[in-house]
Structure 1
Amino acid sequence: MEIQIVSHHIFWYILFTIIAAAVGIISYGQTFPPLGKLQRISLTTLRVAMVILLGIFLIEPLLNFYSSKTIKPQLAVLMDISKSMGVKGGSVSRIAEADQLTQKALDAINSERRIFNFASDIKETDGVPGESGLSGDATSISNALRDLAARKDFDNFGAIVMVTDGRQNLGEDPVETAGKLNIPVYTLTVGEQITEKNLSVDNIIYPTIAYSGAELKIETELSASGLGTGKSRLYLKLGANVISDKPFDIPEAGREIKISFNVKAPEPGNYEYTVSSPILEGESNKVDNERVFAVRVLKNKLKLFLGSSSLNWEFKFVKQSLSKFEEFDVDAVFPQAPGNFSDPGTPRGLDGLKKYDTIILVGSAPPDLRISPVDLTKYVEEGGSLIYLSGKNVANDLRLFDGILPLKPVNPVIADGEYYFEPSPTQKQHAAILIDDDPDQSIRLWHSLPPFTEIVTGIEPTGNVLLEAGSNVRDSLLHAKIPGKPTPDARPILIVGHQGKGRVSAITGFPWWQSYFGAAKDNRISGAIPNFWRNLVKWSAATDQMQNFKVITERKVYRLGEPVRLTGYLYDEANRPKSGAFVSLSIFPDSQQTSIKDVVLPPVDAGIYAEEVQSLAPGHYSFKAIATGYGDTLGKAEGSFTVENVSLEMTSSAPDYNLTRRISEATGGIAYNSETFQNFPQQLKLTPYVKENQATIRPFGLPLLLAILLLGLCAEWGLRKRFRLP
């Protein structure tokens, strides 16, 4: 036993305990009324005992008790009961051979053992299984080792012997899992050693965003085993059509080759591509020769018309901001003389407007640039986009837009002052105003921008208000607003909406150039306003026909026991990959409303979320997914896939002696085959060891001692009353 003192004031507590005990002894030396000697001794003893007990509470001692026990380690026997163990080599199946060899070895071992069956997980059993016990449609050696290590009694095992054919086709790398166990793993691998033939498409490297007409590079990684020398072809399909193919030399076993495709990206839209190679003669695994992936194609460059009725600072600022981005081709037009505009001139008619993805008018109405409001309305309704930036003539301009803009002019008046940018709390993740991936940081950047000086009042928003004017950097008028319902004190400065198939925006706070140049010397916020204009234009030009959230499977049909990989692609409304979302997915059997599996797709790349789902029964399945972020729903998607009633376990049944050898080498065990397993009983090392145990008692935390202290004090008080002491 060992005593430790927790308190740092032990000296003072002991001193106070001694003083208190001495006072108790002295106080009962003489009493009134006088007591007998036995009575005084009883009271003194009780008082001193309680004082000492209280002192023990104060100094907080720890009582450490040590013990040791000799442990005889047990042997964990893991028996593979997957269906591939039923494969026969001649007239004897693998499981029959394994039963015979294992039973003979266990009879020669004196140590206690416990037997576990495994396929995709483990289950303890009383004896070695027979052929009738084979049930697994997939084998996961890594899962079996992980589940064994998770048992509370795992410390009782001193070694593991795993009897298997080594056909791991599910789960993580078992070598890595085994290396974390800290006990040796002995392996008995059964089955005829044959060279398996297989060619697989292992990985695809591709961009999630491509630009129409530009080069789209796709890199594929392939590996092979047991096929020898030869040639094959790799095909790249867009939908069901082959758009490119390349010959390649079949790689040697253990080597990997890379094949690249450089194709022209199609018209804007969402596309599914497939990379596949033909099934070669003798291939054992016919499900890994193709992969499906998705790419979003955008316009190579957005064609913008930027027009103004005068060459002013606001016009110059917008032109400078947009021209610095390579994805924009800007035609900036202003009047050089009455009736004479700078090249290339203003768009003529509806056909002229349709040459542009977005029309931006700075402090101008359509007639100022010889644009018909009727043509402009048709242009927007048929899928074009319009951005209007207010200026000094806003009261007159608004009446000339013929109702295209997302606002209603009631009594438009310019109000001078000092105003700050305030994102709407219900729209802070909107793609047009999100100037940082983190919405909260985006708001902080808006708050940090220098103020502007003029806003348009007397208007009624008919679209979504994204920005409003705050009266100071942190003072927002939005906190009392009901989402979607403008209040009388609303001061919108950015309103967006839809007109037919197109998108429209109205900016009613200005001038922006002053805020931009006021922030130009601050590296932290200097890019905020140009990025906003970039986002606003990209959001305006984005087509609603593009699905912002999509989830696909690598194949439409899977083998029984094969993991189903689900990949989600998430974009914001400006067609940028959206990171930081929470993507959840539910899987439903065919024609059922109750999900059988709910999973979360973790992020794997910018805007890409993926996860594998294990062990689904044969049948047709549908899935529904939802992406959320900061409390907002970012997108919903659904799809389907099928699991065949053909076991993955039987698509490739050749034993893997190399895998079991690596497992044993990584843990300090020995790998055996049917001819060498007779040496296992002599080579098994299960050495008894001494296990030290420590038990700690904290007296000051025991309710019993506290009860004794209270009872002792009560007893002293009761005796004093009985003896008529004050």
Structure 2
Amino acid sequence: MSYTSIQLTFAWSVFFLIVIVGLSVGLSAWLYRETIPPVSQVRRRILIILRSAAFAIAFFILFEPILDLQYEEKEKPIVAVLIDASESMSIRDAQGDRQQQRRGVLDHRMWADHADAWDIRYFTFSDRLYPSDHKPSDTLALTGHATDMRTALEQTQSLFIGKHLAAYVMITDGQYNIGGDPGGFAQVSDVPVFTLGIGDPAESRDVAIVQISHNETAYLGATIPVTVTLSSYGYQGKRIDVEILHNGKRVQNKIVVLPEDGALTQVTMDVIPDEIGDQKYTVRASPLLGELSDRNNQRAFVIRVLKNKTSVTLISGAPGPDHRFIYSVLIENPNLDVRAYVEQKNGTLTELEQPPGRTSPTEADVYIFNDYPTNTSDPSTLQRFLQDISDNNRSAAIFFGIYIEVGRLQSIQSRLPIKAKPDASLQESSVFIGMSGSASQSTIVAVSDDPGETMRQWADLPPVWISRYAVAASEESDVLARVDMSRATNTLRLRNDIPLLITKRLRQQKTLAFTGYGFWKADFIIKGLNKSNAVYPAFIQQSVQWLAAKDDTKPVIVRAGKSVYRSGEAVMLTTQVYDEQFRPISDANVNVTLQNGSASHMHAMQPLGNGRYEITLDGLMPGDYPITSSAERFGALIGTDKTAVTVEAFSLEMSSTAMNARTLQTIASASGGRFFASSGIDSLAGVMNFQPLIFEREKNIPVWNAAALLILIILLLSAEWWIRKRSDML
């Protein structure tokens, strides 16, 4: 801080202050020209000074002096250094040891030379961001199971809002395998990103199973194709044995000739499940001599095997485009038997003909009412459906539309997840979907293993439509999605909360409601942008699976986020606890026990409210883990449930290990930064020239109300009185 101006200002003219002070000094001198009794001239002068000073300070205060200070304040530029701590940063390639390259960058003299001029903040990142209060040591643990560069940049940005963030420096191999495109962040960033590439831009010799495509759910005895995608570098023309194992036994195998470097090759094999339940299979590619790692030569997958196909009855209130979209999604699933009806203008229903090779189910496991019932729907037909839902605990989904009359569902109102009343003041409006927190753990909306990616894909959807109903969630229901009020019109914001996707569980029944409509419109828009619409088809298929599943109507239900986790990935478990009336219990003691060979480990789950409990387990070694969840209340056992997860040795970080120079160049160029290989740290130092922000500050300090001046006046007058008293003066 350096002062540029120091001034003392007064409420009135300084000239008058000087005149008044001069007069007060003259008056003091005149009053003490003679004293009774006479005192020495020295004593009279002291008395004149004391009284004159008291008068001068008093008049000084009356003129309300203010000290005006102007100064410069400097804010150091913040340089955020983001260091990749994922597993791929630990390997040795043709460029040498990546850990050694990272140490060389961090030990460069640039950081010490600018330690006083810059505010250097260090972070490490992999699948999440970790702030550090010091420069990471040489023994930094490089164990991150995945790399999310965009989230690391976004979270760093959020930490320095309103501060002088001058640059990001990313020390990384540039391989991101979860999260969004970091280039998108760079395009809108007003802070440059300087990227330092670690490693060799050429891939190491390796074979990896990068993807396994299969049906998540299948039926006993059905033939399930499994497509395995392999990537390979350095083994063009080599033959490799790819096999599928179940319970340690080979199910099928094929010999594959590996293609040119960088090309993907696919092999399709079949499995025929012969057991009901979650069946784990393992795909294994035989290791080849000289591979970087054989951990990616084996991957697991799980198929949920059901005894019978699911029967779905779809009733639409009109032959509109939403009906065609929903029907086409359902009919594409060979594991569903679909019976579809469309209401005609006179209120009667017409059944659609079955596609070749398909038969109509005789009864429904799941009902889907799409824009049904309407005000013209035949009462007896509607009552037959509603009676079946009530008497036989059929699960049901309600998709809203323009013509739906929710009031005609009164007989099953207690089973529905919503309360809806028509409101003439409401108009048809387009809205965007905003997912709730509980949606991240729901299989109904999942489109990715990464909950963040699922949320992003739903947020990126075109708008849907809502109409004339004021909708609220009913008791004990779960709202998975709401209208995104940040992108809603001012009129809609007055309604505060508008649920869009709501579910409800009863003892032997589940219901679902989606209060928007216009699936076809969103699908049309997405395809018009040459993109694939994976969200809505997955949502419809997974809604049917959720509605049809009867195994989650128990008092205690434990679920893993997924069946197979990668090495190092956090395992997420949730438990739901219900009483006999299927009301959530939120004050239970819930524990999960993991069995690993002969050892078992118990962990207490944390309550989330509404009967939900959660735990995240880090650091599980590769293997199979049977899991038992138990819930107690007041010392009494409510129930138990079991599941299992597999932690596979497969490492996402090892699926592609080359330094991704293109991504790093894109990030740097789009943000106004520069890209350098790790050997170019000297060149980076040459362009990192950041200046502090200089702020002109002004501070006004009122002097006239300072207590010290009043105390000084009192001391001066007290001193005068004391001298007069000692001199016996009148």
What TM bracket, shorter-length normalisation?
0.3 to 0.5
- TM-score w.r.t. the length of structure 2 is 0.42
